[in-house]
A = this chain, B = another copy of it.
Amino acid sequence: MTDSASPAVPAYRLIKEHVMAQIQRGVWREGEAIPTEESLAREFGVSRMTASRAIRELADQQVVERIQGSGTYVAQQKYQATLVELRNIADEIAARGHRHHSELQLLERVSASEALARRFRISSGDVLFHSIVVHFENDEPIQVEDRYVNPRIAPEYLAQDFSTQTPNAYLMRVAPLAGVEFSIEAGPPPERFAELLHMKPQEPCLVLNRQTQSMGQVASVAAMWHPASRYRFSGRI
């Protein structure tokens, strides 16, 4: 206890903040080496383990890059890449302080077309479940969720009440999520979806396609259709 009234900021955090500040101010530039664990430990009067933890966490955050035997370097700002978080529609609407509700349009058992069978890695003609749900923000339709589900993963899918629980929430609950593939594109909606979304003629949709895996199989393939004039994906880092 050397310092009195320590404001309960752990030493490893102080070191992290110090290093990030030096980088942010441009004192240590991209690709340059930063001080060793040893010397940071001395400078801050802590053990090497503590300095090590600080720098390791910065490496996890890709702020620096470590090369064993060589040193620690300020990472290339490959932040050419922007990280985006796509939330589910109910949470997103709630976060805006608006009301969300959803209406089930269709819930059926189908046999897989060629294209669907390929995406699910099953045989053409095998059974799939299919649902169409419309999501509303303050009573205005904002998303049509067109979803196919693998019966081997969620055999009770057709028996759910999708006005009280979204398909997404149900699937999360019954199937541990092991992987996701997605794409975002723009295009014209099927006529039926355009009507459900109260869209103007010729207006394009912003579409999020999402395919989830669970227990080694494709669990679900979904397309979320949004009217381009009333919806965008957004976020910050």
Contact = CB atoms under 8 A, between A and B. Distances in A.
A207 B81 CA distance: 16
A217 interface: no
Interface hub of A88, A90, A184, A229 (most chain B Cβ within 10 A): A184
A191 interface: no
A145 to B, nearest CB: 12
B182 A234 contact: yes
A26 interface: yes
Q: How large is the interface on A (under 10, 10 to 19, 20 to 34, 35 or more residues)?
A: 35 or more
Given A86-B82, A236-B181, A77 B206 contact: no
Interface in A84-110: 84-88, 90-91
B87 A84 contact: no
Interface stretch (A35-43, A132-140, A152-160, A168-176): A168-176
B205 A202 contact: no
- Copies of this protein chain in the complex: 2
Interface in A1-40: 23-26, 30
Contacts of A25: 176
Interface string A186-228: 1100000000000000101110101000000000000000001
Contacts of A169: 80
Interface hub of A169, A186, A231, A232 (most chain B Cβ within 10 A): A186
A26 B236 contact: no
A187 to B, nearest CB: 6
Contacts of A180: 79, 82, 236-237
Contacts of A168: 80
B186 A228 contact: yes
Nearest to A233: B184
A208 B235 CA distance: 12
18 contacts: A25-B176, A26-B176, A81-B88, A82-B85, A83-B86, A84-B86, A179-B237, A180-B236, A181-B235, A181-B236, A181-B237, A182-B236, A183-B234, A184-B233, A186-B204, A202-B202, A204-B204, A204-B228
Given A77-B176, A84-B184, A183-B233, 7 more contacts: A24-B176, A60-B60, A81-B87, A83-B85, A179-B236, A180-B237, A185-B206
